[in-house]
A and B are shown apart, each in its own frame.
Chain A
Amino acid sequence: MSLALLVALGVGVLMACGVYLLLRARTFDMVLGLTLISYAVNLFIFFMGRLAVGKAPIIRAGVPETLTNYADPLPQALVLTAIVISFGMTAVLLAIAVRSHAENGHDHVDEEGRSGVAVDTPPIPGRTPK
């Protein structure tokens, strides 16, 4: 099995799992799904720079600076910030999830009744003082 096929399968599975979870109607499931999707997307962008084993893009004296000697640094730089940003996104989504659960008493993403889904837990007394 070639490396390319392996990583392609890996990214695809992450994506499929992420999409499935994203389509669940519960906040936490969606956050999990989004995290899996961001794995997949980050890997996807990273792999666009092609596969390079043992060629970290850290310039060593005397080694010519070409893509045969070093991995592509550009997708790496893009992905690095993307990883950190996806943490920020996750944090915001989780905060929304907590707030929504506290205020609505359930964690379904749509208003209850719209798609015929019953509220799953009795309302939790949350309050927002002043």
Chain B
Amino acid sequence: MLLLPFMGAVALLFVGNGQRKFAGWLAGAFTLAGFALLLTLAPMVWNGEVPRFRVEWLPSLGVGFGLRLDGLAFLFGGLILGIGALVVLYGAYYLADNDPPARFFALLLFFMGAMLGVVLADNLILLVVFWELTSLSSFLLIGFWRHREDARQGARMALAVTGIGGLALLAGVLLIGKVVGSYDLDVVLASKVVLQQSPMFVPLLLLVLLGAFTKSAQFPFHFWLPHAMAAPTPVSAYLHSATMVKAGVFLLARLYPALGDNDVWFWIVSTVGMVTLLMGAVVAIFQHDLKGLLAYSTISHLGLITLLFGLDTPLAVVAGVFHIINHAVFKASLFMAAGIIDHETGSRDMRQLNGLWKRMPITATLAIVASAAMAGVPLVNGFLSKEMFFMEATAVDTHRLLQLAMPIAATIAGMASVAYSLRLIHDVFFNGEPVGLSKTPNEPPRFMRVPVEILVVICLMVGLFPAYTIGPLLAVAAQATLNLPSVAQMPQYTLAIWHGFNLPLLMSAIAMAGGVTVYVLLQRKINLHTVVKLPGDAKVLFDVFIENITVIAGALTRLTQNGSLQRYLLLIIVTAIAGGVAAVWLYPAVGVRPSVPMEAANLVVIAIALVGIGTAIGAVVMHRERLTALIFMGVAGLVVALSFVYFSAPDLALTQLLVEVVTIILMMVTLNFLPKQSKPEAAGRRHVNWRDAIIASAAGLGVSWIVYQVLTRPFNSISPYYLQTTVPQGGGANAVNVIIVDFRGFDTLGEIAVLGMAGLIVALLLRGLIVPASNGNSPFGAVFEAKMPEVARQSLLLQVISTLLLPVAIMVSIYFYLRGHNLPGGGFIAGLIFAIALILQYVAFGQARVEASFKLDYGKWVGWGLLAAGLTGMGSWLVGFPFLTSTFKYFSVPLIGAVPIASAMFFDLGVFLCVIGGTMLALATIGRLSQPAKEAA
């Protein structure tokens, strides 16, 4: 059922915008199918069962994709699909010829699906997801007329306000989940005591209420709703009166059993509801725009419903649920009537619309009945729920002041609603003749009126025979809202038109009479038409707010993101240091871990370490003479390689050594195109050096401290697993290599891809760029340059040696590759050896010649390497194992010994090719920079 609207929306995307009727029918068919499905479930709901549907979604988070259909959900589902079907029918006639119908109906169905999701969701996370979807689709629907500025603004405002509410709701829901330990609705509803005794209760309640109030346009978040009236009228009728804005009160109803029944709830919800009720009703009287009046009236009625939930008694909740139904029915019909009037006259301004009774009597009759329901006139549905409201208002006895204020406020609100209903009727259908209309009004097409007729008939039926029509539905819905096990435990109430002479009836009478008097007085004394719009519009505030946010964000951005890389680095490093300090300072270590006895270092080790430290410092001191610094750094790198040797990491030592060589060569070549010296900082910025030195020292000290702390404590490692399984499962004795190509093969695949990409990036960055060397005093500067005469720069000795060395080096490379699984070596190391052999050729013969004679295309090497590695991984799929599962077998090869032919070997071959390709691509590209274009080609 939930899927149907979404399916419909997708189907509609394929319907051309030219076929209006067809799009309408299609949308209607999906909606009606959904409605029919819902009805088939009705008997189950009536019997007190809760049909469910569940698919695991994020089981690790305890979030399932579950749906449940209890009475409340059934009621809302009925409203959504039933009114939805009518709106679709209505919309098919309402849209202008140049409006794209497929887009309209697709969005409408999308919204319908989202809204159904909200009411059917059986856990709170899912509810929030759908909640956000309704906000999004509402945004798109309000902005349906993209070309209109007010539509775009209104859409933005609605999205901003409801979006903020949605975030608050999400936070609230997460808090609920944390307190209760589950997001499941059944569990949450049953956890009232746990929730309300939690210290987090007030914050989470406030967050949830913020979500509900923004969605339901409660004061002070009401201002977006009138601006959302820029939407096409079917949208206003559907989203902004009957369904979406009800999502907020739905949430109140849904969570009432868990969050309600306490003082905080009572005061906040009832106060907000009451203020909204009064404010909306009073402001509505002074609107000139027909839809504006209806919008404020909607706000007011939503306030009424909120207030009813806030009163916190079971009976008030029943009244609230009842009014949700009634309001949806009469307000949707009124919006549709307003749309008809707009459609037929071209205006919604009540100062222009007058005396339409003569032109469109049927529409007028319908609108009058619906307005009567809005005003709460007897014999129509609005009367019943209003009576129940008055009853509850007089029953408030918790506080002396409230006891007095509540009935008075209720009566005033009743008066105001009578007054604006009267204005609607009188101003539009009577009160003289139309003024300056662009069209001559007539009755609308037959089927445009049908939805209104159906809804008005429902109004009357409910109003006349409440017990027979709405009684059962109200009973199951209210029971579900109160989360009672059976209908028998429901509070007693009677649905009847006549309750005898009592206080509520008196209040109704006063409201009626008062409302009429107020309207007549207002019309006589000040003539409502001349009233300029009340300054009650919070749009101005909203705009100022948004503007300030933008300004503050801009200032913050300029403060941190000033375009200076140095500033960014400084911020990152300082933040990292501060984070480390804060972690140690805020969370002092608990308990003591014993220190482990440490080996003393012998003199050789100390000496080597001092060399490393000395050269690193040397690199810093000499950093302005770049070549010198580079040499210092190279020595420091060698010390790093030595420490790998000393601390039992032969693979790392080999890799470090080879990478060091390649890196230094690369840097020297590059230095050829960069200044050889760094300029000192400008005189005014010398202090920067000291600042940086302090920051750097702090970073170094911190790292030293951590390393020392870690090394002097014992630890548990997961590594014995690798040591134990490397031979039996990986087929290799070299645990490091087996981890790389087997256990963590997927990582490695990613890493060689990165290396290959790095090579390609270098190639692309420098493609076609020709830079003359900045000057010639670098010893390697001339190495790759073909500008000088060939003979002058090439050493014969070097050429002879490197020629002899090439096959040897390649042999060595292959040897390291083959033995890698059992002894230090492997694809990374072999690839680097191979690359260095090639570099030697470059040095000896010049780049152009080498590339001409070998015809090397390193980009392809990268490609083949990745392909080999990837295919090896996929090969294991063929035999039914996960990606990159390896298998192995030993073969005896003369001279080399037993060679493991594991599938991981092919993977390692990929690594090998990729390393050569990536490395050489980078080097060759940079080396090629200085060659004239014809040689580079």
Contact = CB atoms under 8 A, between A and B. Distances in A.
Interface string A1-39: 111111111111111111111111111110110011001
B619 interface: yes
B231 to A, nearest CB: 47
A96 B656 CA distance: 24
B566 A23 contact: yes
B700 A15 contact: yes
A114 B564 contact: yes
A97 B766 CA distance: 10
A45 to B, nearest CB: 10
Given A59-B727, A77-B736, A32 B720 contact: no
A109 B922 CA distance: 21
Interface in B703-739: 703-708, 710-712, 715, 717-720, 722-724, 726-727, 733-736, 739
Nearest to A54: B648
B618 to A, nearest CB: 9
Contact of A73 (B612, B693, B736, B832): B736
Nearest to B737: A77
A91 B774 CA distance: 19
Interface in A30-61: 31-32, 35-36, 39-40, 42-44, 46-60
A30 B822 CA distance: 38
Contact of A10 (B609, B757, B759): B609
A98 B717 contact: no
Contacts of A89: 758
Contacts of B766: 95, 98-99
Contacts of B609: 6-7, 9-10
Interface in B666-725: 666-667, 670-671, 673-675, 678-679, 681-682, 684-685, 692-693, 695-697, 699-708, 710-712, 715, 717-720, 722-724
A35 to B, nearest CB: 6
B652 interface: yes
B606 to A, nearest CB: 6
Contacts of B926: 91, 94-95, 98
B740 A81 contact: yes
B920 to A, nearest CB: 11
Most buried by B among A49, A83, A85, A96: A83
Contacts of B673: 98, 101-102
A88 B717 contact: no
Contact of B718 (A8, A21, A74, A86): A74
Q: How large is the interface on B (under 10, 10 to 19, 20 to 34, 35 or more residues)?
A: 35 or more
A126 B648 contact: no
Interface in B586-641: 598-601, 605-606, 609, 612-613, 616-617, 619-620, 623, 626, 629-630, 633, 636-637, 639-640
A10 to B, nearest CB: 5
Is chain A's interface secondary structure helix, strand, loop, or mixed overall? helix
A24 B623 contact: yes
Nearest to B933: A129
B700 A16 contact: yes
Contact of A29 (B598, B623, B670, B705): B623
B563 A11 contact: no
A70 B685 contact: no
Contacts of B699: 15-16, 19
Contacts, number: 364
Nearest to A19: B696
Contacts of B710: 47-48
Interface stretch (B160-168, B202-210, B449-457, B743-751): B743-751
Contacts of B740: 77, 80-81
B37 interface: no
Contact of B700 (A13, A43, A95, A97): A13
A20 B761 CA distance: 27
Nearest to B654: A80
A17 B619 contact: yes
A118 B717 contact: no
B475 to A, nearest CB: 65
Contacts of B774: 121, 124
Contacts of B695: 19, 23
B559 to A, nearest CB: 14
A124 B699 CA distance: 37
B758 A91 contact: yes
Contact of A52 (B612, B648, B918): B648
B605 A6 contact: yes
A74 to B, nearest CB: 5
Most buried by B among A58, A101, A129: A58
Please provide the 5 A-B residue pairs with the shortest distance between their CB atoms, ordered closest to farther: A16-B700, A12-B704, A88-B758, A91-B922, A73-B735
19 contacts: A4-B708, A5-B598, A12-B702, A14-B700, A16-B699, A21-B620, A29-B626, A32-B623, A43-B640, A57-B649, A65-B724, A67-B717, A74-B718, A74-B719, A77-B735, A84-B659, A95-B761, A99-B769, A128-B769
Interface of B: 562-566, 569-570, 573, 598-601, 605-606, 609, 612-613, 616-617, 619-620, 623, 626, 629-630, 633, 636-637, 639-640, 643-644, 646-652, 655-656, 659, 662-663, 666-667, 670-671, 673-675, 678-679, 681-682, 684-685, 692-693, 695-697, 699-708, 710-712, 715, 717-720, 722-724, 726-727, 733-736, 739-740, 744, 747-748, 751, 754-755, 757-759, 761-762, 765-766, 768-772, 774, 822-824, 828, 832, 915, 918-919, 922-923, 925-926, 929, 933
Interface of A: 1-29, 31-32, 35-36, 39-40, 42-44, 46-60, 65-67, 70-74, 76-77, 79-81, 83-92, 94-99, 101-102, 107, 109-111, 114-118, 120-121, 124-130
